[in-house]
Structure 1
Amino acid sequence: MKMNMMHTSKLVLAGVALGMGLMLGSCSSDDEPVLPVDPEVTYKGNVAYSSGILFNEGKELGNGTQHFHFTGDVVLERGTYLLKGWVYVDAGAKLSIPAGTIIKGDRQTMAALIVEPGGYVEMKGTKEAPIVMTSAQPAGQRRPGDWGGLIICGNARNNQQTMQIEGGPTTKHGGDNDKDNSGIYRYIRVEFAGYPFDTDKEINGVTFGSVGSGTTIDHIQVSYSNDDSFEWFGGSVNCRYLVAFKGWDDEFDTDNGFSGNVEYCLSVRDPRIADISQSNGFESDNNASGAETTPFTSAAFKHVTFVGPMTAKNSDFKNSADYITAGDLYPNNGSKLGKFQAAIQIRRGSKLRVENTLAVGYPIGLILDGEKGNTVQYAKQGELILDRIIFAGMGVVGTDKNKLYEDYFFDFATGTEDKNRESYSHTFFLSNPSNEIMAEAELGLGDPFGVGQNCCPMTVLSDGLGGYIGAFKDASDNWLDGWTNFDPQHANY
C-alpha cells in the first residue's frame, strides 16, 4: 500500500488511541474490523500534519506481516505510536518525527521502520526529550527481539555494488554517492529490537546500508538488541556518541566497505546473553569471502569503551551454555545462545582502524583472523591500525583462530601451528608501544553516570599525546546525561 500524503486529504484511520497518539503501520488480519474515518489533518503548503496515522489495509507478506510505504512529506505530531509491519520511507519521501515521540514496535508483525535509498527521515530528539523506539510489550515483559528495528539505507558505495539489506526486508542499497543524505537521527533510543524473521536472520538494533556522509548520526542508544547493536554494510556515514547496551551478538559490526568515522562509543555486556555465533565487541569483515573488493572496510573508531562480561561486577561469569541462558530476558523466539569471544575481531580482509580504546573483561582481547582474506598481511603492512588501546582483565590477550580461546601461534596461510609461541594477534597488539595490557583494578573505573557498570575512569587514562583513552575523559565528561536509559525494562512508556 502506498500513499502520497502531499496530495491526499483523507487518510485511512482506525484503531484505539494509545497514550497521546494512535497507531502507525498496518493491522494484522486478526484485528477486529473497524470503519475508516477521517483524521484531523492540517496543511502548511503541501506538507500534511497529522496527530496519528493508522492503516488497516496493506499487502500481506507471509505470517501476517504487511508493507506500508510513505511517499511525500509527512510530519508527525509528538505522541505515542504503535508501529505495525514493515513501514518504508520511499525514495523522495520525507518523514519528520519530533522530539519526545515514542514509537512502540509490534511483536506479531515484526515491525520495522525502513528508510529506502533516497528516502529522508528527520528524527531530531533532544537531550531532554529523546525519541524512543521500544517494545510494545508491557513493562516487565519486554524481551530482545520483540520487534524489528531501525534500518537506514542509502546510495553511498559498498563493495558489492548493490546489496539486499540484512534481516528480511526487500530493500536494496548502494550507489556511487558517498555524500548521500538519508536524514538526521539524533538523541534516539532503540530498545528490544532484532526480531528473528527466520533462522539466523535477525534485524539489528540499528542497521546502516550504504548510508552516506551527508547523513547526521549522533546520540543513539541501542539496548537489548536480539542481534548486533549497530551494523554498517558499506557506506561512509560518520557517527558520534553511540551506546550499545546488553545486546545479543556483536556491538559494532562493520562490513562491505564501510569507511566512516565513528567517535565516542560505550558498550556494556550482560554476562547471561551471547550469540551462538560468538559475540564480539568489534566484528569487522571486508566481505563474507574476504575477497579484495573495493572500497575496503576501512572505518575508523576512536574513543570507545567496552565493558565486557568478565568485569568485576560480573565476577561470577562463566562462558558456558549452562550459564549463558539470558535469564528472564530469554525471548523464546528461536534465537540461539552461545559464548562470548573477543573485544576486537578483525577478519576477512578488513582494514579497520581503532584508536584511543579501552576494553575490559572479554575472554579474548584481539583476534586477527586469517582464515579468509588477507587480514594478517594487511596488519603486517600497516594497513590495519590498532593504536593507543588498553586491554584489561582479559582471559587471553589474543588468538589467531575464530572460536579458539588459547593464545598460541597459528598461520592459516602455511598451516603452521606452534603452541610454544604467543599468537600473532598478541604479538601484533604489543608491537605498538602505545598499546598496553593492565589489570582491571589499575584502571580506577567507577560508575558516576548510573550505568550499572564501572565504565568511567575517575582520573584520566592518558594516551601520552595530550588526549585520553576510552569513551569518557573522567567523571565530568557525561555525554550520557539526560537522554539514555539503563533500565528500559521498567520504563513507563
Structure 2
Amino acid sequence: MKTVKHLLTMLLLLSGLAAVIVACKKNPDEPTPVIKPTPKTTIASVDPATAPVGSTIAITGTNFSTDPGSNTITIGGVTATVVSATDTRLVVVVPAGATSGPVSVTAGGQTAQAPGTFTVSLPAVKPVKEVSGTTFANLNWKKDTIYLLRGLVYIPANYTLTIEAGTIIKGAGPERDPTSTNHAGALIIEKRGKLIAQGTATQPIVFTSAKAVGQRNYGDWGGLVLIGKAPVNQLGTTLYPNGIRGTVETYGEPLDNSGTLQYVRIEYAGAVQPTTPVTRLSGLSLYGVGSGTVIDHIQVSYSGSDGFSWFGGSANLKNLFSYRSFDDDWSVDWGYVGNVQFGVALRDPDVADQSGSNGFEVENFTPTETADVTAVVLVNGLTQNAPVFANVSNFAFNTTPTANNTAKGTGGYQSGIYLRRNSAISIYNSIVYGYPVGLTLDGSGAGLTSGTIDLKGVVVANVLTPVVGVGGISADQATAYFTVAGRSNQIVQTSDMASLLLNGANFSLTAPNFLPQVLSPLLGSGTTGGKLTNSFFTQVAYRGAFGSDNWTSGWINIDPQNKDYDR
C-alpha cells in the first residue's frame, strides 16, 4: 500500500513539473525581448591636446548632454566653460588657473576621463613694434602686437591713434631714446590730435614698463599725455613742462575733444626727464584737455611722480584709481575747471617723494609764487583753479601716520588735502585717512570768506593734525571754516577709527577691498545740492569713492610686477 501511495505522489510531482514547463514555454509568435545596455559616457579624444588658457578645445565621445550647462568638464582639476554641446561633441574654453593634467566629463550621472594628459601651454610671444618720433598718419594698434615707445612719441594735429581693447604698450627707459637726448618713452597726443583707447573690463588697455617681470620699478618710462585746446591760465608763450615740445598758445575751446580713454592701466611711469630743472611726467597728464574728451576707469600704479595731473582745461573724469604713487595722487594747476567723481588713492606708507607727498595738491599760477597773488585775467580768461571733486577716498597710513618717512630713504607725507595759491576748488563727500595733516589751507584766506573754496561732506580721519592754516590763514580760521555745522564735515579721532566700519581689507596692498561695511556711517550721509546738481555727477548718498558697487572689479591689477605682458 505504501508503494502505491509513493508512486501516486511521484506522478503528481511530475505532472506539476510538466505544467510549469508548458506554462514557461515561449509562444513562437511573440518577439524576443531586447535588453538595451545602459548608455555610457566616454571620451574618445581631446583636440588639440595642447593649448593655452583662454583657447577652445573639442572633446569627442558619447552620452554627453546636449544642454551645455548639464555637462561638467574639468581640465587639470579646474572647471571649464562649455561653449557648445551635442551628445558626441563638447567645445570648451581652457580655464584660467588650469594646469596640465587629465580632462574629465561628467554627464548623465557618469564621469569619464580622457586617455592621456592635456597640456596647458603658454601663448606665443607677441611680436614687438617699436614706435618713436612723430607719425603723420592715422594709426591702429592691435592687441596681437606689443608697442614699444622709444623717446617722446607724438600724435600730431589732425591725426588719430586708435588702440584696440587688450593691447599692451610698453615704455622704454631714457637709455633707449633713438634721438640720444635721454628722454624716457612717452606717448603725447598734441592739440587737435586724438587718442581712442577704449578698453573693456575684461580687456583693459595697458601702458607699462618695458622691463621684465621682477625688474620693474617706479619711473621706468615717461607716461601718457593729452594736450587739448581748452583754456589754461598761462600766457600763450608758456612752454609745456617736462620736456614736451611747444607752447600752450591761446585757445578758448572748453568743449574740445582729445578722444576717449576707458579701462586703461598706466604702470611704472614718471621717469626723470632731461630738463632744467629736472622734471617728471605723471602717470596721466592732461594739458588744456576739454570736456568733449571721455575719460573713465583709469588706474595709475607705481608712478614715479604724481598719479594724475591736470594743467588747466575742463575735462571730466570718473572712476580713477591711484595706486602706490610716489608723489601726489591728484595734482591740479593752471586753472583746471573740470569735474571728477569716484576716485580712490591707496598709498604705500613706506614710500613718499622727497618734495613731500599729498593726496590733493592744488595750486595756481607759476611755481615761483609762494603765496596767494592778486587775481589776474590772462589772455585765456581764467584766473583760478575751480574744479569740483566728489566722492574721492585718499588712504595713506592705517596705523598712526608719520610726517617723515625714512624706511626706504625717500621723503615724507604732508597733507591729505593741500590747497594754496588762490585755488578755488570744491571737494564734496570725500575721505582723507592716515596723513600727518588732514587739510592745509595756504594763502590769504580770501577763498574762505568769498566762498570760492567749498569743502562739504569731507571726513578727515586718523591724522596727527586735522586742519592747518598757513600764510594769512590762522589755524583758528582754518578750523572754524572746516568745522562749521552747515558744511557737514567731520573729524574722526584715531581712537574712533573703528566707528567708520571700513572694509577689513581696505588698506591691503595685495588684495584691497574698499567697500565699506553695510552699517558704515559713510553710507547715506553725503551732502547734496549745489554744484553736485551738474548733470555730469551721479547722484549718490555716500561719502568716499564706494557705496555697494565695486567699480574696480575685474580690470585693475595690484600686482603688475609679476604680470607677463609678452604673451
TM-score by length of 1: 0.77
SS at match of 1:249: coil
Matches within 5 A, 1:279-428: 279-288=357-366, 289=369, 290-291=372-373, 292-293=375-376, 294-308=382-396, 310-312=397-399, 318-325=402-409, 337-370=410-443, 374=444, 376-401=445-470, 411-412=471-472, 422-428=475-481
CA distance in structure 2 between the partners assigned to 1:431 and 1:213 by the alignment: 33
C-alpha contact (below 8 Å) 1:117/1:173 kept by paired residues: no
Q: What's the offset of the Cα at 1:464?
A: 5.1
User: What do the CA deviations read for 1:145-165 (whole angstroms, capped 9, x no partner)?
Assistant: 100000110111001143433
Amino acid at match of 1:173: V
SS at match of 1:189: strand
C-alpha contact (below 8 Å) 1:271/1:324 kept by paired residues: no
Amino acid at match of 2:343: C
C-alpha contact (below 8 Å) 2:440/2:467 kept by paired residues: yes
Which of 255, 264, 275 is the aligned partner of 1:179?
255
RMSD: 2.0
Matches within 5 A, 1:10-409: 19-26=125-132, 68-78=133-143, 79-107=145-173, 108=175, 109=177, 110-162=184-236, 163-173=238-248, 175-198=251-274, 200-288=278-366, 289=369, 290-291=372-373, 292-293=375-376, 294-308=382-396, 310-312=397-399, 318-325=402-409, 337-370=410-443, 374=444, 376-401=445-470
Amino acid at match of 1:131: I
C-alpha contact (below 8 Å) 2:402/2:436 kept by paired residues: no
Matches within 5 A, 1:464-475: 467-474=541-548
CA distance in structure 2 between the partners assigned to 1:432 and 1:182 by the alignment: 41
C-alpha contact (below 8 Å) 1:324/1:339 kept by paired residues: no
Q: What's the offset of the Cα at 1:359?
A: 1.3
Amino acid at match of 2:203: A
Q: What's the offset of the Cα at 1:266?
A: 0.4
How many percent identity over aligned positions?
Answer: 35
C-alpha contact (below 8 Å) 2:153/2:188 kept by paired residues: yes
CA distance in structure 2 between the partners assigned to 1:173 and 1:484 by the alignment: 33
Q: How many residues align?
A: 398
Q: What's the offset of the Cα at 1:295?
A: 3.8
User: Structure 1 residues 89 and 447, CA, compared in 2 at 3 Å: closer, same or farther?
Assistant: farther
Q: What's the offset of the Cα at 1:286?
A: 2.1
CA distance in structure 2 between the partners assigned to 1:221 and 1:171 by the alignment: 28
SS at match of 1:71: coil
CA distance in structure 2 between the partners assigned to 1:204 and 1:464 by the alignment: 31
Aligned partner of 2:60 in structure 1 is: none
Aligned partner of 1:442 in structure 2 is: 499
User: Structure 1 residues 128 and 388, CA, compared in 2 at 3 Å: closer, same or farther?
Assistant: same
TM-score by length of 2: 0.67
Amino acid at match of 1:76: W
CA distance in structure 2 between the partners assigned to 1:161 and 1:242 by the alignment: 30
User: What do the CA deviations read for 1:442-489 (whole angstroms, capped 9, x no partner)?
Assistant: 111115687644633112512255711000013xx1100111011111
CA distance in structure 2 between the partners assigned to 1:458 and 1:122 by the alignment: 37
User: What do the CA deviations read for 1:9-32 (whole angstroms, capped 9, x no partner)?
Assistant: xxxxxxxxx932322324xxxxxx
SS at match of 1:440: helix
CA distance in structure 2 between the partners assigned to 1:351 and 1:295 by the alignment: 10
Aligned partner of 1:456 in structure 2 is: 515
CA distance in structure 2 between the partners assigned to 1:132 and 1:103 by the alignment: 6
Aligned partner of 1:429 in structure 2 is: 482
User: Structure 1 residues 299 and 202, CA, compared in 2 at 3 Å: closer, same or farther?
Assistant: same
SS at match of 2:126: coil
Amino acid at match of 1:412: G
Aligned partner of 2:117 in structure 1 is: none
User: Structure 1 residues 103 and 183, CA, compared in 2 at 3 Å: closer, same or farther?
Assistant: same
CA distance in structure 1 between the partners assigned to 2:350 and 2:278 by the alignment: 19
User: What do the CA deviations read for 1:306-330 (whole angstroms, capped 9, x no partner)?
Assistant: 111x214xx6x643353243xxxxx
Amino acid at match of 1:81: Y
C-alpha contact (below 8 Å) 1:362/1:395 kept by paired residues: yes
C-alpha contact (below 8 Å) 1:19/1:80 kept by paired residues: no
User: Structure 1 residues 135 and 428, CA, compared in 2 at 3 Å: closer, same or farther?
Assistant: same
Aligned partner of 1:333 in structure 2 is: none
C-alpha contact (below 8 Å) 1:251/1:280 kept by paired residues: yes
User: Structure 1 residues 187 and 454, CA, compared in 2 at 3 Å: closer, same or farther?
Assistant: closer
SS at match of 2:447: helix
CA distance in structure 1 between the partners assigned to 2:349 and 2:415 by the alignment: 14
User: What do the CA deviations read for 1:258-309 (whole angstroms, capped 9, x no partner)?
Assistant: 000000000011112111221111111122234423242100000101111x
Is 1:483 the counterpart of 2:558? The answer is no
SS at match of 2:458: strand
CA distance in structure 2 between the partners assigned to 1:296 and 1:89 by the alignment: 30
Amino acid at match of 2:446: Q
